[in-house]
Each structure stands twice: as structure tokens, then as C-alpha cells.
A and B are shown apart, each in its own frame.
Chain A
Amino acid sequence: MLGYIFRKFLFNNSLKSKDKYMNENTDTAGSNGDPLSSDLDKNLAVIKEILRDSSDVTFHEFNFGHDRRFKGALVFINSLADKEEINKNILQPLLYDSLMLHNTVDMDFTQIDTISRNILSVTDYLKVNLLSSLLDNLLAGSAILLIHGSNEALAVRLGKGKSRSIEEPGTEVVVRGPREGFIEDVSVNIALIRRKIKDTDLCVERFVMGDKSKTDVYIVYIRSLVNPKLIEEIRRRLNRVKIEAILESGYIEQYIEDSPGSIFPTVSNCEKPDKVAAKILEGRAAILVDGTPFVLVVPMVFIESFQSVEDYYARPFFVSIIRIIRFLSYIISTLGPAIYVALTVFHQELIPTQLLISIAEGRERVPFPAILEAFLMLFAFDLLREAGVRLPKPVGQTVGIVGAIVLGQASVEAGLISPIMVIVVSATAIASFAVPAQTDSGTVLRYIYLALAGIAGGFGIIMGLLATLLHLASLRSFGTPYLWPVVPLNLAGLKDVFFRMPLWSMTKRPTAITWDDGDPYNQGPGLMPSPNTQDNSDSQ
């Protein structure tokens, strides 16, 4: 319901700015759309004119062939291209290796194809004939080979830019499981997924998005498992996005999500290849964006937030307890302060007598109403967390200690805050870290519920919960109900919600994600392990 109001509000605002942007967009795109000319000097002059203020562009003109009658030029950006490789694989073959051909062999080196097929020792190249695509490739790090007399150019992608090595991700640390995480280089990320799923059906579709950033965006999915409509819908939504730059996958997330007005995320993100692979194998699609280790996965369901990769690597019994603890901690993190305020301000008769007396003792010198006290403490906690995250690690610890002493102890001793409120807020704070995927929504809900509890007590909380439930039930993520498999109820899906059943019993893929009438099984039947009695009798 809140999302509904929010959406209406946003919709009204966005109408005006739209048209303006569309016009601007078409203007800038038009000038670079010209075809290349066959005159080398002319081409170079045009490129130089466009990149006139960029000092790191190298234009290298040279002559080659037996009698050096062919003219060519290499254009590349110093900071992106690997000069050694250019020398070894482009210049050297053109200038010297071509001489080894018998001079009776008369080749027309004004044809780009002839060069790429006979001379160059490179594999990753692209023929371009438009100025715009030439510039795109140049700026993406390719070395451009222009030949006098050809109206085509060769964009050779050489080497790799410098990238971070694969490390354990900071956000999703596991005790058991692979330690690798995605990095900023998208080609490495795709490789990480390919290494997990060596299947011919694994598709990697490329998009280039952002008028200025020209960011590589990939959709990765398994053709035989995914619902074609899902891919169709992702393509449609991605193509809709006409923005200047995509600096992180969060940009895409906010342009393609189903309910921009909702406080709940409908696109999940993660940093671990094994998690993404598992989701792809369930029939989802991953969206990889160059320049960020965070990979988007759609569709997302609410329950996913309570599942962790490790749940499937550990044996099911302990995991089931942890699952329940996660659900409880989400409830505590959203409702903890609200329930405390509702009980102490509205429903004192519900508190056991002895507890009421000790609460009253603790609050005796507190001058603020409970609701204000709760808001102050929550504000202080969020302040501490924000300050601690942004600061460098050694200083961050200091903030924690100062915060704990000042807020936890001094404020209680000064009689500003009651000790029970400190306990409630600390419990809330700890609980909020147990479900990382819903920390954002939990924080917002916590303040909303607290306000409602302050206004109308338990009644207010119930109203808030009902509104949240209605909203959650109405959410969709790329066609999948957000509360699946609880609403709508799906018994096979429930095996992985409140309890995690053994892997050999979870034989079906999530139906609300694949929507597939075909083979829903991800494993053969009857895989429950048991000692093979037959074998034993044979051996004896």
C-alpha cells in the first residue's frame, strides 16, 4: 500500500523530464554515424578532430609491404592498450613477417580481410566500417588498424586491462564453501560462472549500455532451463534503459525492477560465483555488469533473503535451526523496539508483574517518553553503524568502543536512557545483521513500525503488519510472486523455506521461476543414501 502511494508520486514527476532527455540523446548520436572513408588521412583527421583534447591517444602511421607501398595507421589509447602485444602481434607481422612471403605472391593489402587472414597473429578482432563503432572499440581499449584504400578498419582487442585478483568477497563470507568472489572485470566473472557450469546451453548475451559509459552488460542463463519469456522481458527492460552511464549494477537494478516504490528489493544481488551458478541452475537469469563484482539475479523471491549458500553445503539439521533463527531475527529486527514501546506505553497489563516493576525501576529517572527514547537510541545505533562502515578500519573500532561506552553505559548512568531500552535496541541491532539481504527494508520497517506503535500501540503494529503483508503479497519479480512458495502455496517449494530438507529430497526446480511444463526434476529419483547391502553380501 505504501508502495502504491510512492509509485503514484514518482510517476507524476518523471513525465516531464522524459521528453527532454530523449531529444538530447538523438542529437549526440547522429554525428558519429558516418561511414569511414577509404582515404587514410581523412579518417585520421576526423578521429583526431574528435579526440583532439585527449593526450593519451597514439596515432602511428607506417608503410608496409615488399616495397613499402601500402600505407597504414594504428590508433590506440596508451592507457588501455598493451603496447607490447601491439608491437608483437600487429606491427611486427605487418612490417617484417609479411616480407617472408615470396615477393611473387601478390597480395592486395588494401583489403582488411586479406591482412587479418594472412598477416596478423591475432584472434580477437572486429571489422568496423562506421566511425561510431570505430570510436566505441577504440575507447574500449582496442587497437584500430586503418589501411589506406579501405573503407573498413580492424579493431583488435589485445590483452587484458589491469584487474584485481580473485579474492574472498567482503559481503558474503562463508565458513564452508568456495572462497572466490566476483571482481570488477566482467570477462573474469563470466569465466568464473563458466567454470561452474560447463554446459552447451549456458548462454551469455551481450548488451552495451550507457551512452557515455558504454558498459558491457551480459545476461547469463541456461537456455534449456530458463523460461524464454523471462529472457524476453529482461531484454525488453534492458533496452528501455537509456541513460548516460552505468557505474554499478545498482544503476540497472533501479531501472529494471518491478516495484520501484517498494521498500523490498525485487532484484537480488550477490558476489559469489557458486551462488549465481546455483540460481542459474534453478532457471533464473544473471545480469553481469562490467566494473562491479555485484551480479544481479532475477527473478527474486522474499525467501531467498533467508537462504545462504552455506545452507546447502552443510547438513540439513543445523541449517534448519539457523533458518528459523534467521526468520526470528528478522522479526526482532523489525518489530523489537515497536513491541517494547507498545507494551510499555499502551499495554502495561500484558507485562508480567515482576518485569513491569523492573522496567519501571529502570525508567524511573528517564525524562523522555518511551517512543522518543526508542527513536533516539535507534538513531544513535544507525549513526554508529554508518560512521563505522565509512571510516578506515582502525578508526572504525574506536567509534564502536566510544559508541558502546557513551551510549550503552554513560547514557544509562546519566538517566537519559533506560537499561532495558539499551537491551532492546542492541538485540535489534544484532538481529538486523542476521539477514543481510533485507537489512535495508528492515531498517525502514523498523522506523515505520516504531512510529505506528508510538501512535496506536499494538493496534498500530498490527495495522502496519497487515499493510506490509498485503504489499508483499502483491509484489512480483519478473512474473514470480514475491512470497512464493508460501503465497501461492507450493508444497515442493516449501521444502526449502522454514526448514531445509535434505538435498536428495528436493528433486524439483522451483516451478514459479521456470514456469515450465517440461522436465522439472533436477536429479534422479530415490537418491537417498543408504548402505548397499547387496554389495556386502557379494563380497562375503
Chain B
Amino acid sequence: MRKKTCLSMVKLVLYFFMMLTLSGCLGAREINDLEIVIGMGVDKGEGGQISLTAQIVNVSSSGGGPSSSGGGGEGKPFWNVSSKGDSIFEAVRQITHMTGNRLFISHNQAVIFGNDIAAEGLQKYLDFFLRAHEMRPTALILVAEDKASDVMDAKPETEKYPALNIAKLVETYGFTSHLYKVNMKDFASSLMSGTTAQIAPLLSIVKEEESEDIYVSGMVVFKDGKMVGKLNHDEARGLLWVLGKVESGVLDVSLPDGKGKAILEIMKAKGQVTPVMEDDKIAFQIKIKAETSLSEQTTTENLATNEMFEKIQEASAEIIHQEIMAAFDKSKEFNADIFGFGEMLHKKYSEQWKKIEKNWDEIYPTIQLNINAETKIIKTDLLKKPVSPKKEEK
């Protein structure tokens, strides 16, 4: 009896021991030993090498801590460390020569590629970021207009860390719907689809006397991972209308009588695309439904009447139509299927798709778009009629 319990005790201890050691979960790292990376930039260095810039949180000088009485370093709250290497992983490990600690990239918010890297093709540079177990697939991909390291140096005024600021710029795309956030996973999956072209936000720097500010100037279009061109804000929104990603934004409608403007806020938007294939002619029915509110007007005339609403709605639908066509024209110019039309065809006409898949590049410029945009003004916000001198109303 005693022997048996003894044996089961030994077994129990063994089980616990095995659970602890065999699970591979033992990886204790104190926070003090981490270099928290919040952004990474990849540029082309000299001699074909990769120049990697990591933005590390500078814990000791970021202030706010209780130990502010001591130290008192006036340094930047972040530290941009650069290193060179033949591969990204090599460059990452090279950085430890400067930091002393291994980089901790789980909190990496954004990976910014320099213009020259984007032109060469992102594909081979992405592998590390997708493979590294610490890296999040939700980290954002961005392209810098020139060098990624320059973008990461520009210190924002209200946010402490440039990388977090850049991530915020992209995350809040919905205010204008002029750009779209693209993360590692999205980019990789559209890269693997074969026909769909990839997009990524483009970061530019505005220099004003002494300060440098970062802004998103548009979207970069990739074909097979190589940068082929850019979309401006309106074209980018044209793309988002079709993808159904428009959240909010401003529609600037010129009144038909040329007397002023009505500015509409997009409250809600829905996009629906149905491919139609008839005798080798491929067309796409695009149905856009948007609800808007009258947010601003630049005339004294009361626009809140049924007749005016109808005119404005018609004009705003026309704007949407134009934006979509602008985006489509650009994509024809690059011959890059940014809308993912190929994939839609694949889903609906999988049999025929097999035949045309190889010639998609030739077919793409020939497809037809039938755009049916509808907008509706659902409210006029706080005013029922414009603020104007009384006599004019009569």
C-alpha cells in the first residue's frame, strides 16, 4: 500500500516536471533586458547591403517615471539604431552590438520600406517579418517616399514616438478614407493570390522651416511585390468604394447653379461588386450606396429642400463615379488589378477562370465597369437652414 502511494507520488512529480520542461514555454526575460522595438525601417545601403533602422523605446529618458529626480537626461524618448547586413536577420542581430540586448519586436507597429526597396520588390524582404515568431502579422506595411530612416527620424509634436504616430496616421484612415491600412498578413495574402495587386500607404515629409512633419500622401501600387505607381487621395478612395472599405470622409459637391458648395460627410457606405461574364466579355456591376449628412454649405440659400437634396445627391453620386473611374484608369495604366477583380471572377466563374487566368494581364484593361452609385442625405446636423440675414430669406 505504502509502496504504491510512493510510486504514484513519484509519477506525479515526474508529470509536473515534464510539463514544465517539455512544453518549451520557459523563456523568462525581464523587462529591463528588452529593447522594445516599435518600428522598423528597411533601406538600401551601399554595395547592395540592407540598411535596417530599428526604433527603440528609450526608457530612461522618456521621463514620466518616478525617478525623474535622478538622471534627468534630455535625450529623445526613442532611439533609432541602424545597422547593415546582407540579410534582415543579420542586420537585426548586428544591432545588438549597439544595444547590448536582443531586440524585442513583438510590439513592432510598422515596417517602413524605403523607396528603392519598394522599387526593387518587397517580396524577398518580407520573409523575415512573416517568419519571425515574435513579429505580429498585424504590423503595418508602409512605403517611404524616399528613405525609411528619414521618416522615422521626424519627431511628431504630440506623440512621443514617431513609429506609433505613423501607425496612428494609418489606423485612423476612416476619417477621410483617402488611404487604407495594410498589414503584413494582408500584403502577404494578396501577394500569394497571383492576380491581385498589392497596395501600401505612402509616407511623405513636409518640411516647414525647422520642423518636419509626416503625412500620408497616397497609396503605392505594387505588382508582384514591385512598386509600379502611386494613387492620389481621390483615386485611393475610388479603390476603397469598390472594396467597401469607406468608413467616413468628405464629399465636396459643387452646386449645379455654380453658386457655392455643399459639403457632405459620408456616414455609412456599402459597396457591392458582381462580376458578369458574357461571351468572353467581362463586366463588373458595382453598386455603391452611401448615406451622408450635410455638414457644411457655402451659400446662403437653404439647401434643405427636397429639390436641392435630389440635385446634391445626384452630383455626389457623380463624384463617387468619377473617383472609381479615376482609380480604375490608373490601375489600367499600371496594369495592376488593385481591386481584386480577378479573385472575384475566380470565385464566381471558377471553370472559365482557369482558362483566362494566364492572360489576365491582357484581359484586365478590357473589362467594363458599370457603376451605379447612390447617395442619400439623411440629416443636416444641427442646423435646419443656414444662418443668414433675415431679409434675404424673403
Chain A proximity of B160: nearest CB distance (Å): 9
A358 interfacial contact with B, CB 8 Å: yes
B66 interfacial contact with A, CB 8 Å: yes
Asked if B34 and A413 make an inter-chain contact with CB atoms under 8 angstroms apart, the answer reads: no
Which parts of B43-85 form the interface with A (CB within 8 Å)?
Answer: 57, 59-60, 62, 64-67, 69-70
Asked if A349 and B32 make an inter-chain contact with CB atoms under 8 angstroms apart, the answer reads: no
Chain B proximity of A107: nearest CB distance (Å): 68
Grouping DSSP codes into helix (H, G, I), strand (E, B) and loop, the A interface class, with mixed when no group exceeds half, is helix
The 8 Å CB contact of A363, one of B9, B32, B57, B106, is B32
The 8 Å CB contact of B106, one of A348, A354, A359, A460, is A348
Asked if B30 and A463 make an inter-chain contact with CB atoms under 8 angstroms apart, the answer reads: no
Q: A348-B34, A348-B104, A356-B36 are in contact. Are A361 and B28 (CB under 8 A)?
A: no
Asked if B67 and A365 make an inter-chain contact with CB atoms under 8 angstroms apart, the answer reads: yes
A440 interfacial contact with B, CB 8 Å: no
Measured between beta carbons, the chain A residues less than 8 angstroms from B12 are 1, 5
1/0 per position for A279-320, CB-CB distance to B under 8 A?
Answer: 000000000000000000000000000000000000000000
Measured between beta carbons, the chain A residues less than 8 angstroms from B134 are 349
Q: A353-B38, A357-B36 are in contact. Are A345 and B29 (CB under 8 A)?
A: yes
Residue of A nearest to B104 (CB): A348
B363 interfacial contact with A, CB 8 Å: no
Measured between beta carbons, the chain B residues less than 8 angstroms from A345 are 28-31
Chain A proximity of B26: nearest CB distance (Å): 6
Asked if B65 and A370 make an inter-chain contact with CB atoms under 8 angstroms apart, the answer reads: no
Measured between beta carbons, the chain B residues less than 8 angstroms from A459 are 19, 23, 25
B20 interfacial contact with A, CB 8 Å: yes
CA distance A345 to B32 in the complex (A): 10
1/0 per position for A147-191, CB-CB distance to B under 8 A?
Answer: 000000000000000000000000000000000000000000000
B27 interfacial contact with A, CB 8 Å: yes
Q: A344-B31, A456-B26 are in contact. Are A362 and B109 (CB under 8 A)?
A: no
The 8 Å CB contact of A346, one of B28, B62, B67, B164, is B28
Chain A proximity of B27: nearest CB distance (Å): 7
CA distance A304 to B164 in the complex (A): 49
Measured between beta carbons, the chain B residues less than 8 angstroms from A404 are none
Chain B proximity of A344: nearest CB distance (Å): 5
Asked if B9 and A369 make an inter-chain contact with CB atoms under 8 angstroms apart, the answer reads: no
Asked if B60 and A463 make an inter-chain contact with CB atoms under 8 angstroms apart, the answer reads: no
Measured between beta carbons, the chain A residues less than 8 angstroms from B20 are 455-456, 460
Measured between beta carbons, the chain A residues less than 8 angstroms from B27 are 346
Measured between beta carbons, the chain A residues less than 8 angstroms from B2 are 12
Residue of B nearest to A351 (CB): B107
Q: A349-B106, A353-B164, A455-B20 are in contact. Are A370 and B57 (CB under 8 A)?
A: no
CA distance A5 to B10 in the complex (A): 11
Q: A1-B12, A5-B9, A362-B66 are in contact. Are A353 and B107 (CB under 8 A)?
A: yes
Q: A345-B28, A348-B34, A457-B28 are in contact. Are A361 and B9 (CB under 8 A)?
A: no
Asked if B66 and A363 make an inter-chain contact with CB atoms under 8 angstroms apart, the answer reads: no
B158 interfacial contact with A, CB 8 Å: no
CA distance A381 to B332 in the complex (A): 70
Asked if B65 and A362 make an inter-chain contact with CB atoms under 8 angstroms apart, the answer reads: yes
Chain B proximity of A374: nearest CB distance (Å): 12
Residue of A nearest to B26 (CB): A456
A84 interfacial contact with B, CB 8 Å: no
CA distance A8 to B109 in the complex (A): 54
CA distance A370 to B30 in the complex (A): 7
The 8 Å CB contact of A353, one of B31, B64, B67, B109, is B109
Interface residues on B, range: 35 or more
Residue of A nearest to B133 (CB): A349
CA distance A458 to B25 in the complex (A): 9
Asked if B28 and A366 make an inter-chain contact with CB atoms under 8 angstroms apart, the answer reads: no
A430 interfacial contact with B, CB 8 Å: no
Residue of B nearest to A460 (CB): B20
Asked if A363 and B25 make an inter-chain contact with CB atoms under 8 angstroms apart, the answer reads: no
Q: A8-B5, A353-B109, A457-B25 are in contact. Are A361 and B30 (CB under 8 A)?
A: no
Residue of B nearest to A364 (CB): B59
Measured between beta carbons, the chain B residues less than 8 angstroms from A458 are 25
A3 interfacial contact with B, CB 8 Å: no
Asked if A361 and B65 make an inter-chain contact with CB atoms under 8 angstroms apart, the answer reads: yes
Measured between beta carbons, the chain B residues less than 8 angstroms from A413 are 66-67, 69
Which parts of B107-135 form the interface with A (CB within 8 Å)?
Answer: 107, 109, 134
Interface residues on A, range: 35 or more
Which parts of A33-53 form the interface with B (CB within 8 Å)?
Answer: none
CA distance A359 to B30 in the complex (A): 11
Measured between beta carbons, the chain A residues less than 8 angstroms from B69 are 413
Q: A1-B12, A353-B164, A456-B20 are in contact. Are A360 and B30 (CB under 8 A)?
A: no
Measured between beta carbons, the chain A residues less than 8 angstroms from B164 are 353-354
Asked if A357 and B59 make an inter-chain contact with CB atoms under 8 angstroms apart, the answer reads: yes
A86 interfacial contact with B, CB 8 Å: no
A419 interfacial contact with B, CB 8 Å: yes
A93 interfacial contact with B, CB 8 Å: no
CA distance A364 to B32 in the complex (A): 6
Asked if B31 and A370 make an inter-chain contact with CB atoms under 8 angstroms apart, the answer reads: yes
CA distance A363 to B31 in the complex (A): 8
Chain A proximity of B194: nearest CB distance (Å): 32
A256 interfacial contact with B, CB 8 Å: no
Chain B proximity of A495: nearest CB distance (Å): 38
Q: A5-B12, A348-B34, A348-B104 are in contact. Are A357 and B57 (CB under 8 A)?
A: yes
Residue of A nearest to B21 (CB): A456
1/0 per position for A133-144, CB-CB distance to B under 8 A?
Answer: 000000000000
A75 interfacial contact with B, CB 8 Å: no
Q: A456-B20, A456-B25 are in contact. Are A360 and B34 (CB under 8 A)?
A: yes
Which parts of A331-373 form the interface with B (CB within 8 Å)?
Answer: 344-346, 348-349, 353-354, 356-366, 369-370
CA distance A454 to B62 in the complex (A): 28
CA distance A460 to B136 in the complex (A): 24
Measured between beta carbons, the chain A residues less than 8 angstroms from B59 are 357, 360-361, 364
Residue of A nearest to B107 (CB): A353
A146 interfacial contact with B, CB 8 Å: no
Asked if A361 and B62 make an inter-chain contact with CB atoms under 8 angstroms apart, the answer reads: yes
Chain A proximity of B133: nearest CB distance (Å): 10
A436 interfacial contact with B, CB 8 Å: no
Measured between beta carbons, the chain B residues less than 8 angstroms from A364 are 32, 59-60, 65, 67
Q: A5-B9, A345-B30, A348-B34 are in contact. Are A357 and B62 (CB under 8 A)?
A: yes
Most A CB within 10 A of own CB, among B12, B25, B28, B31: B31
Measured between beta carbons, the chain A residues less than 8 angstroms from B23 are 456, 459
A263 interfacial contact with B, CB 8 Å: no
Q: A5-B9, A360-B36, A415-B67 are in contact. Are A348 and B29 (CB under 8 A)?
A: yes
1/0 per position for B297-317, CB-CB distance to A under 8 A?
Answer: 000000000000000000000
Chain B proximity of A261: nearest CB distance (Å): 13
Asked if A463 and B19 make an inter-chain contact with CB atoms under 8 angstroms apart, the answer reads: yes
Measured between beta carbons, the chain B residues less than 8 angstroms from A455 are 20, 26
CA distance A468 to B57 in the complex (A): 40
CA distance A419 to B2 in the complex (A): 50
1/0 per position for A452-475, CB-CB distance to B under 8 A?
Answer: 001111111001000000000000
Chain A proximity of B16: nearest CB distance (Å): 7
A192 interfacial contact with B, CB 8 Å: no
1/0 per position for B93-109, CB-CB distance to A under 8 A?
Answer: 00000000000101101
CA distance A356 to B5 in the complex (A): 46
Q: A5-B12, A348-B31, A353-B38 are in contact. Are A361 and B107 (CB under 8 A)?
A: no
Q: A8-B9, A356-B107 are in contact. List 15 more A-B contacts (CB 8 A).
A: A5-B12, A8-B5, A12-B2, A345-B29, A348-B106, A360-B59, A361-B59, A363-B30, A365-B67, A366-B32, A370-B31, A413-B69, A455-B26, A456-B23, A458-B25
In the complex, 24 of the A-B residue pairs with CB atoms within 8 angstroms, ordered by the A residue number, are A8-B9, A344-B30, A344-B31, A345-B31, A346-B25, A348-B104, A348-B106, A357-B36, A357-B57, A357-B62, A358-B64, A359-B31, A360-B36, A361-B62, A361-B64, A362-B65, A364-B32, A364-B65, A366-B32, A412-B66, A415-B67, A419-B66, A455-B20, A460-B20
Please list the 3 inter-chain residue pairs (A to B) with the smallest Cβ-Cβ separation, ordered nearest first.
Answer: A349-B106, A361-B65, A459-B25
